[in-house]
Structure 1
Amino acid sequence: MSWLSSFPQMNEDTLRTLKKVIDENFRAFTRAYGDGIETLFTPLKWFLIEAERFTTQTPWPVIVILVAAIAWFASRNWRIVAGAVITLLLIGYFGMWEDAMRTISMIVVCTVLSIVIGLPIGIAMSRSDRLQSVVNPILDVMQTMPSFVYLIPVVMLLGIGKVPGLIAVVIYALPPMIRLTNLGIRLVDKDVLEAADAFGSSSWQKLKDVQLPLALPTIMAGINQTIMMALAMVVIAAMIGVQGLGQPVLKAIANQYFTLGIFNGLAIVGIAVVFDRVSQAYGRRLQKHLEVLHG
């Protein structure tokens, strides 16, 4: 029974050795391939810089009109349009315009990337139960792992800056896009698919003309959740150099600036509410449009 009493110590020694080996190998990998991996993300960095340049250098009346036009197109609701415009004007009035524009550009880029990555994965999952059984546990880990943990490997590989922050935000915000794309396509009425088969539709035609249009409201809900989760990461991403409303919040926490933290926190909330209302309204419009077409 002596081995039983020494088991915790043996286990601790084994774990210490294992951790040391993993850490050393990861550092060696970072030194060997870090620069090459960083080069792969150059187009992403260019996309983010251009988006930020557009939002920060475009005159504020143009941005307000553009946001109002997008809100009207998505919702056809004057209350939502007025809410979006008033939110932006208040952000500008309290001197947070530039940081807010940086945050909005980050969220837009993250959302676009999440759609580009998540939509094909969700479609592939909807076509294969085996792939779904493999991907679902990965998504579970991505959604339950503390958001700070995402920053560790990304920062070690790419350092501190915009791109590492963007990658961390995308990893955190991606699961809802994948899950709801998969769910939306799987919920398409089997009778509709059988009718498409009867008309001789190919697999691609069924996906493009039947499944994706009918799943679009659910996919829009996924986009909405992706935006909300990306905004939730704004303050945490500021810790590794992502500029925007998150940095003043961190500054306020470090220096006990109550009003600075509250105002910038409320600005994040305001942007989140605008994105949420606009995307939800667009999803409802799509749903009604599809009900009319298939009613």
Structure 2
Amino acid sequence: MENWWIYQGVGAPHAGILRLPVPPPWRVFDGGPPVAPRDGVDSGVPRRLGDHRRAVTYRPRTPELELINAALYLRRPLLVTGKPGTGKSTLAYAVAHELALGPVLRWPITSRSTIQQGLYDYDAIGRLREASLSAQAVGSDEIDIGHYLTLGPLGTALLPYEQPRVLLIDEIDKSDIDLPNDLLNIFEEGEYTIPELRRMAATQPDVEVRTADGGQVGLRGGQVRCRAFPFIVLTSNGEREFPPAFLRRCLQLDLHEPDPEQLAKIVEAHLGPDAHAASEDLIERFVSRRNSGALATDQLLNAIYLTSAAAVESGMGREQLADVILRHIESDADGA
């Protein structure tokens, strides 16, 4: 184990984040006042990482650990590319769990995603409706704009936490062509403005708004600036190229498919040692079929679960039943 690693890939939570040195001068941010850390168990951890009393599902190789830790040290986003099922999204949950950084903030990207959706949502129609009703009521209180604002995953991650939050921007390669460029300034400056609050700063400087993870936070003057730059994981299936300016602001990690040893640990963590011992043949079958076409790791887990739960009742052999699941993701017509 390298002494400089903050994230070690061991799976068990530890206080290694406290050893993270100060950022380089060009990545120092001074947002404040500090926001209290977000406590609580991330509901995504058991589904993503399995049962840590059995095994560790995500155990990165040394080159991967080096890039993950480099991103932590340099306060730079990590662009993770790989085939489906290689653990791109799981990486974010593994880092958040091991370094005790709170629940992962997840922003799933579609072709319609915009930078504002990642930063905040403003329900203008709801506010106008309530303002109209209040105007008809005698002695009604002034409408609090904070009731109609909710910070998005990116906006929440950039709050001035003392320790970095983990933000998963999932499938960035599915975005509109402009979104990567829109993220450039955010990644560089670590701050953003909410114009709706900025316009009211003179009369209502302090506003309480909801956060993407169900909390509440006070904002002053409509300005948000981070204190600890978040650990950002952007995943990509490699379906498009990104602008050089975007790539310059990220560290790039290409994840390889899990080898048989890693697959065995994944099976044990999710389904237990008995399932692992009884499924070595299916792991070999999965690896063999993966060599001739795309297969995702969750297909192996589904096949092992199905053969253990339904093989006898189905009247089919284990391998025959497993083959119902272990079909290549891409058809031959698509070039698989």
Quickly name the TM-score band, shorter chain normalised: under 0.3
* TM-score, reference length from structure 1: 0.26
Choose between structure 1 and 2: higher helix proportion: 1
* TM-score, reference length from structure 2: 0.24
